[in-house]
């Protein structure tokens, strides 16, 4: 995660519990990307990564429930969007494996976490078995 960045709370801090919440995540991320001046390519990358991470909450968290917080960040003259995805699910036993292409516990293609990492400028994942998972991503304006 980026240190020394100042933040401005964006318009979003809400629960993720239903498929419709994925649409809300994408809509709010699009608006925040525009607000900080991300170009179309970077905005699309942020929205894609955010959508994937929100879907992970639906697919892997206990009860398919979690939260997303979206805020604008400013550091050394640049602007960006920081998004925090958190759940109280079972956690990730092996973070290293989970960040490897092809790793999946549910038979998917296993591209979600490593793919999201490639789409954003910063990705921090913290997780503990039985205590949930938090993923924080940041996309900076070029």
- Each residue's pLDDT tens digit, 50-105: 999 999 999 888 888 999 999 999 999 999 999 999 998 888 887 887 777 665 55
Whether residue 111 has pLDDT greater than 60? no
pTM, whole model, 2 decimals? 0.86
Instruction: Give me the CATH topology for the region 6-140.
Output: Heat Shock Protein 90 (3.30.565)
pLDDT band at 9 (very low <50, low <70, confident <90, very high): low
The domain segmentation of the chain, as residue ranges, is 6-140
Query: How many angstroms separate the CA atoms of 58 and 17, rounded?
Result: 6
Count of positions (residues) in the chain: 142
Query: How many angstroms separate the CA atoms of 82 and 9, rounded?
Result: 10
Nearest alpha-carbon partner for 56 in 131, 96, 108, 101? 108
Whether residue 8 has pLDDT greater than 60? no
% of the chain exceeding 90 in pLDDT: 63
Q: Looking at residue 1, what is its pLDDT?
A: 43
Q: Looking at residue 28, what is its pLDDT?
A: 96
Q: Looking at residue 62, what is its pLDDT?
A: 82
* 3-class DSSP state of 1: coil
Q: Looking at residue 103, what is its pLDDT?
A: 59
Q: Looking at residue 11, what is its pLDDT?
A: 59
Q: Looking at residue 109, what is its pLDDT?
A: 37
């Amino acid at each position: 995660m980026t240190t020394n960045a100042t933040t401005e709370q964006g318009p979003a801090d809400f629960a993720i519990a239903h498929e419709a919440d994925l649409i809300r995540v994408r809509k709010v991320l699009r608006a925040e990307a525009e607000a900080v001046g991300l170009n179309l390519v970077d905005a699309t990358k942020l929205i894609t990564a955010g959508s994937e991470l929100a879907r992970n909450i639906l697919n892997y968290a206990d009860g398919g429930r979690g939260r997303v917080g979206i805020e604008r960040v400013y550091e050394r003259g640049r602007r960006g969007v920081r998004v925090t995805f958190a759940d109280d699910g079972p956690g990730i036993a092996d973070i290293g494996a989970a960040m490897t292409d092809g790793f999946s516990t549910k038979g998917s293609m296993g591209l979600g976490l490593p793919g999201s990492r490639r789409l954003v400028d910063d990705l921090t994942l913290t997780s503990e078995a039985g205590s949930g998972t938090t993923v924080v991503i940041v996309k900076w304006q070029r």
